Amino acid sequence: MRISFLLHNAYGIGGTIRTTFNLACALAERHDVEIVSVFRHRDLPSMGAPAGVTMKHLVDLRKNSPGYDGDDPLARLPAKVFPRGDGRHRQYSRLTDARIAAHLASLDADIVVGTRPGLNVHIARQARRGVVRVGQEHLTLDSHGYRLRREIGHRYALLDAVTTVTDADARAYRERLKLPGVRIESVPNSVPAPAVAPADCTAKWVVAAGRLTRVKRYDLLIKAFSKVAAARPDWRLRIYGSGDATGNEKQALRALIEERGLHNHVFLMGPANPLEPEWVKGSVAAVTSSLESFGMTIVEAMRCGLPVVSTDCPHGPREIIEDGVDGLLVPVGDVDAIADALLRLIGDDELRRSAGRAALVSSARFDPAPIAERHEALFAELVAHGENGRSRSALREALHRGRSSLYDGAYALRYVAADLIRRGRKSA
């Protein structure tokens, strides 16, 4: 099969990029796979290019590149196709509308896979007939605002399948969006086996990792560690991750560390890539989020042999951790419960080590190979059904597209013609 992934920016750092690279690399062992990045802001991918996968981009933001697109007048006009409800809307423009439309209209692939709601909407509206259209959801239905839920509830009807990363979210899509004929399947993210030896769970470090954002609730973790440090002053906490552009959350966490007198016990380490060598320096991992659409860091820690103390938040942790076996689940927002769970593992060497061994074994189910096989089976079934076996008829597609199809096609053709003229002038 020829499989094409459409990604926001393959040259940055993030969970969606990482899991897309993992999946693409595994599929490339048996199929022709490409990743098309809407944006490119650097020469090489920050997370390393996946082996065997063709990399392409649509909009070049490298100022020293001869193909730099930042000065294109269309880049200053707001997008009309990319939905406003998607949090990345401000980064999209009439230029991306046109470039994505032209790409999807000429796509030579059996399957095109979108990796965020805005791109899934593009695929639904603009992919040519005959290509299997799959929309991946790496967040949750509940995490989308009303405006975006309304948009995808309408547009996703033109997809062949939607994949979510948890069973709970798949149920939400089936029950609340009512997309007749659209396959909705749950396939978790994949995490490869680390290149380092697993932790032996003897080091006196608790490790947490993820962006310094409010939803991660590191403030709760720091408060809980006050109780841990009081009982076990020989243990310490490292938190890995970068903050947002304002740096407000990082400043607030630093202030909390000072307020609690934990400057010798809690350390904000900044980002680390790769993270595996840092996980194995610890003995317990901690996740205190109020929401986890999946829980990539949970799986990463477990694959490094660490038991995880996690809040039982929607949706991922309960589908990853077996409470009391390879980790501990605690109520969301409960500082004392977080502290008590950490102290339970810290104070019981045998429990901590056995839970670490169990985490290593149970997390193998997230290896890229079996996850890729699940995607492969879905893709093959959709391709085998052919155009006539899918949920869309020409009439139904026309009704759903409405005027937007005329706009999309005309806009793409107009842009391609103008771009050819512009390129011809440059070469002259």
pLDDT tens track for 53-111: 999 999 999 999 999 999 999 999 999 999 999 999 999 999 999 999 999 999 999 99
pLDDT at 388: 53
Domains 2-190+369-427 and 205-366 share a fold: yes
> Are the C-beta atoms of 120 and 152 separated by less than 8 Å?
yes
- Domain 2-190+369-427 is found in CATH 3.40.120.10: no
Express each pLDDT in 246-256 by its tens digit: 678 999 999 99
- Asked whether the predicted pLDDT for residue 243 surpasses 90, the reply is no
Kindly indicate the confidence band of residue 273, based on its pLDDT and cuts at 50, 70 and 90: confident
Kindly indicate the confidence band of residue 24, based on its pLDDT and cuts at 50, 70 and 90: very high
> Can you read off the two tokens belonging to residue 367?
């290896």
- Asked whether the predicted pLDDT for residue 134 surpasses 70, the reply is yes
Kindly indicate the confidence band of residue 364, based on its pLDDT and cuts at 50, 70 and 90: very high
Tell me which of 211 and 331 has the higher pLDDT: 331
> Are the C-beta atoms of 213 and 290 separated by less than 8 Å?
no
- Asked whether the predicted pLDDT for residue 150 surpasses 80, the reply is yes
Express each pLDDT in 401-425 by its tens digit: 554 444 444 544 554 454 555 445 4
pLDDT at 245: 60
- Asked whether the predicted pLDDT for residue 121 surpasses 80, the reply is yes
- Asked whether the predicted pLDDT for residue 241 surpasses 80, the reply is yes
> Are the C-beta atoms of 112 and 135 separated by less than 8 Å?
no
The pair phi, psi for residue 9, each rounded to 5°, is -150, 105
Q: Buried b vs exposed e over 218-240: b needs ≥16 C-beta within 10 Å?
A: bebbbbbbbbbbeebeebbbbbb
- Domain 205-366 is found in CATH 3.40.50.720: no
- Asked whether the predicted pLDDT for residue 398 surpasses 60, the reply is no
Average pLDDT, the chain: 91
pLDDT at 403: 43
pLDDT at 390: 52
Residues 6+ apart with CB under 8 A from 98: 74, 411, 412, 414, 415, 416
**Can you give the length of the chain in residues?**
428
- Asked whether the predicted pLDDT for residue 323 surpasses 80, the reply is yes
Mean pLDDT of 213-225: 96
> Are the C-beta atoms of 111 and 1 separated by less than 8 Å?
yes
pLDDT at 393: 44
Name the pTM for this structure: 0.85
Residue type, 234: D
pLDDT at 424: 53
pLDDT at 427: 46
The pair phi, psi for residue 262, each rounded to 5°, is -110, 20
pLDDT at 405: 47
Q: In 3D, which of 290, 272, 212, 217 has the Cα closest to residue 244?
A: 212
Place of tokens 């695929």: 123
- Domains of the chain, residue spans: 2-190+369-427, 205-366
Residues 81, 77: Cα–Cα separation, whole Å: 12
Mean pLDDT of 40-57: 95
